[in-house]
C-alpha cells in the first residue's frame, strides 16, 4: 500500500471538496438496512449533507455541514423509502472546529450533533457511538450517504448509496483524519468513494447482523491520475469518533436526555 506520508502530501495537492454521494456505490434498497440509521441533511440555501442517527432525535454529522446562516432539516426514509422530513431545532459543533476555505484547511474536529424537532419512530435504528473502535490499516469499512452517483450528475442526489473501502490509516493535514480508498485502485485512478453530498455520512464496520459507527466523512479528493479536475473518486477523509467520545457525550447531554449511552 502507498506510504502514508506520501498520501498526506498528495492530499494537499489534489483538488478536495466537502464530500457532498457515494461514487460507484450500490443503491441501498433493504428496508432493514442502512436506511434505518443514515439520514440526509439539507439547509434553506439548498446545501446537502448526510448524517448518522445516534439517538431517536439526534444526528451526528460533519461540522462544516452546518456553518451556513440558514435553517436545517433532516430527511429520513421509512421502510417504503418514502421521505420523512423533520426540522432541526438545536445543534452543537465541536469547539475546536474553525471554518476554512476548503474542507482540508478547516482546523479542528469536523463533528456536529443536531437535535430534531421530534424523535423518529421505532422503525429507525440509532447507532451507538460508545461501541466505536479503532480502524487499522487494511481494515475494510463501509461508507454511506445521500450524495450524487457521479460528480457531474446533480440530479442523482438524495438517494442512499453505500460502498466498501479499505483503510490506509491516519494523516495530519489541518486536522487529523483517517483515509479510506477503493481497495482495487488505491486512489491512483478514479474509484469508489465519497463525493458531493456525502459529508457527514458514516464510516461503518459491518458485523454479522448490523453495523458499528466508527467515523464521519469529512472531505474527499480526486484520484492521483485524472484527466480533469475532480473532487471525487480518490481519497475519502474521515473523522474517527473513538478519539472524540468525551465531547460527543457532553454534547448529547446538553442537547437531549434521550441518549442513554451518554450517561455511562
Average pLDDT over residues 94-116: 88
Statement: residue 99 has pLDDT above 70 = yes
Report how far residue 222's alpha carbon sits from residue 198's, in angstroms, rounded to the nearest whole number. Answer: 15
Report how far residue 143's alpha carbon sits from residue 154's, in angstroms, rounded to the nearest whole number. Answer: 20
**Chain segment 18-40, per-residue pLDDT in tens:** 554 455 566 878 899 999 999 99
Q: What's the mean pLDDT when you consider all of the chain?
A: 83
Report how far residue 223's alpha carbon sits from residue 230's, in angstroms, rounded to the nearest whole number. Answer: 8
**Chain segment 165-192, per-residue pLDDT in tens:** 999 999 887 788 999 988 775 666 666 6
The predicted model scores a pTM of 0.87
| Percent of the chain with pLDDT strictly greater than 70 | 75
So what's the pLDDT on residue 58? 97
**Comparing C-alpha atoms, which of 263, 264, 195, 261 is closest to residue 53?**
261
- H/E stretch holding 74 reads strand 72-77
Of 123-127, 129-133, 186-190, 232-236, where does mean pLDDT reach its minimum?
Answer: 186-190
**CB contact set of 207 (below 8 Å; sequence gap of 6+):** none
Amino acid at each position: 500500500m502507498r506510504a502514508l506520508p506520501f498520501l498526506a502530501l498528495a492530499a494537499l495537492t489534489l483538488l478536495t471538496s466537502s464530500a457532498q454521494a457515494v461514487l460507484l456505490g450500490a443503491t441501498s434498497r433493504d428496508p432493514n438496512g442502512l436506511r434505518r440509521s443514515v439520514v440526509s441533511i439539507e439547509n434553506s440555501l439548498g446545501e446537502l449533507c448526510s448524517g448518522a442517527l445516534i439517538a431517536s432525535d439526534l444526528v451526528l454529522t460533519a461540522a462544516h455541514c452546518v456553518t451556513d446562516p440558514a435553517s436545517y432539516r433532516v430527511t429520513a426514509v421509512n421502510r417504503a423509502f418514502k421521505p420523512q422530513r423533520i426540522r432541526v431545532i438545536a445543534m452543537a459543533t465541536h469547539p475546536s472546529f474553525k471554518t476554512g476555505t476548503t474542507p482540508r484547511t478547516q482546523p479542528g474536529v469536523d463533528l456536529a450533533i443536531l437535535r430534531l424537532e421530534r424523535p423518529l419512530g421505532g422503525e429507525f435504528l440509532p447507532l451507538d457511538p460508545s461501541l466505536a473502535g479503532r480502524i487499522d490499516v487494511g481494515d475494510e469499512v463501509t461508507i454511506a450517504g445521500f450524495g450524487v452517483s457521479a460528480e457531474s450528475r446533480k440530479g442523482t442526489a438524495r438517494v442512499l448509496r453505500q460502498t466498501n473501502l479499505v483503510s490506509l490509516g491516519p494523516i495530519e493535514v489541518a486536522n487529523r483524519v483517517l483515509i479510506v480508498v477503493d481497495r482495487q485502485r488505491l486512489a491512483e485512478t478514479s474509484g469508489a468513494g465519497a463525493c458531493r453530498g456525502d459529508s457527514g455520512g458514516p464510516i461503518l464496520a459491518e458485523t454479522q447482523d448490523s453495523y458499528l459507527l466508527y467515523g464521519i466523512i469529512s472531505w474527499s479528493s480526486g484520484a492521483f491520475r485524472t484527466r480533469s479536475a475532480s473532487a471525487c473518486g480518490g481519497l475519502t477523509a474521515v473523522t474517527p469518533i473513538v478519539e472524540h467520545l468525551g465531547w460527543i457525550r457532553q454534547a448529547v447531554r446538553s442537547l437531549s436526555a434521550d441518549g442513554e449511552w451518554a450517561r455511562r
